Structure 1
Amino acid sequence: MKHFIFYMFLLFFLMFMPLMRQIAVARESFTMAFAMEPSKHPGWRLAELIYTEAFRRLGKEFRYNVFPAKRSSLMANSGKVDGEPSRNIQYGETYKNLVRVEEPIVVFRVVAYAIDPEISVNGWESLLNTPYRVDYVLGYHIAKEKLPKVVKAENISVIPSPFLGLRKLIANRTDIFVNDEITILGILNSQEFKNSGIIKAGILEQSFTYPYLHKSHASIAPELAKVLRQMNAEGEIKKYLYQVMHEFSKDGGGCSDLPDNGRPDQVLPEYIINHP
């Protein structure tokens, strides 16, 4: 009888071991808060690609949940999600339960685009006392906050899409269009704008952005930093930038305006990183 019970237990164990293994693997996941579906914006798509590979190397399945930016902060700080993909260096001073991963993944850049080669800017303050007409896209919060401090209200226009902003430059209906660099690089390499003459007139703001993890995952922060450094050294992040800008260029024409240095000097969108 004892042998019978033993063999029945062994049979049961062998039958259900694959299922138990699947359950164990399913629990090895890491979820970050995103403010937009990756299919909707190149910055979030870039984050998805980077962290999917990074956590794969750490033996975890990467997942994301989409929330408004402010709620993302609260969800991460409370531990209801495991972290956030890209916030500025001071972010942890406000959200005390979050641990910064000490490896910046990309550079956030706000760029001014123009047609006139005589237009040159360097920082928001360089727009003070200029007659330039300046456009930005509805919902681009940093431009909404900064431009009224340096540009006259009558010279600021809010437009529905980056495509319209670039078309207005070509038609001489505006002087400067402000947006994040990764979005515009992709569009400028599309068939419509490839030979348009639109130039980068200067950088208005830039900063490194970092991953943040809930403190319950503090132990893997050094491991994630190491993996991100490895991916950068291998050119993996640069490869993802090419991929994203190819996906989001209007005709799939890709992007040739990427640097050859070790760290890609590109961006994630402003609203990932600048919400207190």
Structure 2
Amino acid sequence: MKFCAFVILLSFFSLSTFSKSITLSRGEDAVLQNFSELILQKAYQKIGIELKVIHVPIARSLVLANNGIIDGDVSRISKIENQYGNLIKIPVPINHIDIRMFTYNKKLLEKKNNINGFYRMGCVRGLILVEKISTTMKVDCYKVNGHKEGINMLNKNRIDVLLLPLTIGAYFKSVDSKFSTSHYSESLGREPLFHYLHKKHHKLVPKLTLILQQMNIDIYEKTYRDSLKETLSPDGN
């Protein structure tokens, strides 16, 4: 009887030992990350790891990942590892970010490259590409903690323009009746997004790299992007 109990206990311990999970973070209203998360769910499943994702403010996500409180960040632009030294980039792009300027004043879009300090610009805290673009434009941004907060400020005329990823703008245009009438600019900057892991999981990097290289991500992405086309008209309305 004792031997049987030992075997059962050993079996349970073995299952627990090989049952692995990874917890990642992403922006709490960053629907852009839905596609990245979809790709990673498939990738981690292929290597037998359960993927859990928590939603937090965008800037906080990087801090949690870098400090090792969670295991990594779903996806970010390249070179953030220069600032967040504990993060390792999986060197296969899994998504992309395309920043646009959203506004209710279409005339402002004609001056996107020389917009002056008179106009009030909103930026979401933690979006590194947005910070780079606003610096290039030499315009101080009013920082907000999330996309929804920024859109609310634009709707209430507290800012004149808002820098957003196109995918996120498309989503809010489909669910916010006022914001659906906003206009958006041509691309101000477009970069691929990469998955980042804390360095304590460095042994997973080769496995994930190989799996992601073998996945036909472009086909997944085309299907996903096509679903957004009805939301966005070609003239930026």
- Among residues 103, 127, 131, which one is paired with 2:114 in the alignment? 127
CA contact (8 A) 1:99 1:213 kept: yes
Secondary structure class of the residue paired with 1:185: helix
How does the TM-score come out when normalised to structure 1?
Answer: 0.60
Instruction: Tell me the CA shift for residue 107 of structure 1.
Output: 1.8
Larger CA deviation: 207-216 vs 67-76: 67-76
Could you tell me which residue of structure 2 aligns to residue 181 of structure 1?
Answer: 166
Matched, 1:31 2:35: no
The structural deviation recorded for 1:61 is 0.6
Once the two structures are superposed, residues 15-34 of structure 1 have per-residue CA deviations (whole angstroms, 9 ceiling, x without a partner) of 345533541343x11222x2
The alpha-carbon distance between structure 1 residues 12 and 174, as it changes in their structure 2 partners (threshold 3 A), is closer
* From 11, 15, 19, the counterpart of 2:12: 19
Q: Is the 8 A contact 1:121 1:203 kept in 2?
A: no
> Which residue of the other structure, out of 222, 228, 232, is the alignment partner of 1:255?
228
- Taking a change above 3 Å as real, the CA distance of residues 152 and 30 of structure 1, as seen in their structure-2 partners, is closer
The structure with the larger Rg is 1
Q: How does 1:214-229 map to 2 (within 5 A)?
A: 214-229=198-213
Displacement of 1:221: 1.6
CA spacing shift, 1:112–1:97, aligned 2, 3 Å: closer
- SS where residue 42 of structure 1 aligns? coil
Aligned with residue 192 of structure 1, among 148, 163, 177: 177
Cα 1:239–1:13 shift into 2, 3 Å: farther
- CA positional deviation for 1:55: 0.8
In structure 2, the gaps of 5 or more residues are 233-237
Q: CA deviation at 1:45?
A: 4.0
- Separation of aligned partners in 2, 1:75 and 1:191: 31
Structure 2 residue 151 is the aligned partner of structure 1 residue 162: yes
Q: Does 1:136 align with 2:122?
A: yes
Give the partner amino acid of 2:12: L
Say how many residue pairs are matched.
Answer: 228
Q: Structure 2 counterpart of 1:211, which letter?
A: H
Q: Gaps spanning 5+ residues in structure 1: where?
A: 1-6, 243-253, 260-276
Alpha carbons of structure 1 residues 147 and 30: separation in structure 2 relative to 1, 3 Å: closer
CA deviations 1:228-271 (Å, max 9, x no partner) are 344444633455567xxxxxxxxxxx632599xxxxxxxxxxxx
Residues 160-196 of structure 1 deviation map (CA, whole Å, 9 limit, x = unaligned): 442563686xxxx986443222211112234836974
Structure-1 separation of matches of 2:139 and 2:39: 40
Give, in whole Å, the separation in 2 of the partners of 1:45 and 1:108.
12
Are the structure 2 counterparts of residues 164 and 257 from structure 1 closer, same or farther at C-alpha, using a change threshold of 3 Å? farther
- Normalising by structure 2, what TM-score? 0.67
SS in 2 for 1:53: helix
Q: Does 1:212 align with 2:196?
A: yes
1:109 to 95, 98, 107: 98
Amino acid across the alignment from 1:136: G
Which position in structure 2 is the counterpart of 1:262? Answer: none
What whole-Å deviation, never above 9, does each CA across 1:120-170 have from its counterpart, x for those lacking one? 569x6x134597x454267576667865874778x98989442563686xx
- Matches for 1:57-136 after TM superposition, within 5 Å: 57-65=46-54, 72-73=61-62, 75-114=64-103, 120=109, 126-128=113-115, 133-136=119-122
Do the aligned partners of 1:137 and 1:160 also contact (CA within 8 Å) in 2? no
Q: Match for residue 251 of structure 1?
A: none
Aligned mates of 1:152, 1:100 — CA distance in 2? 30
Q: 1:121 to 1:58 in 2, by over 3 A?
A: farther
The worse-fitting range, judged by mean Cα deviation, of 229-238 and 98-107 is 229-238
Partner of 1:4: none
In structure 2, C-alpha distance between the alignment counterparts of 1:56 and 1:41, rounded to whole Å: 23
Q: Give the C-alpha shift of residue 90 in structure 1.
A: 1.6
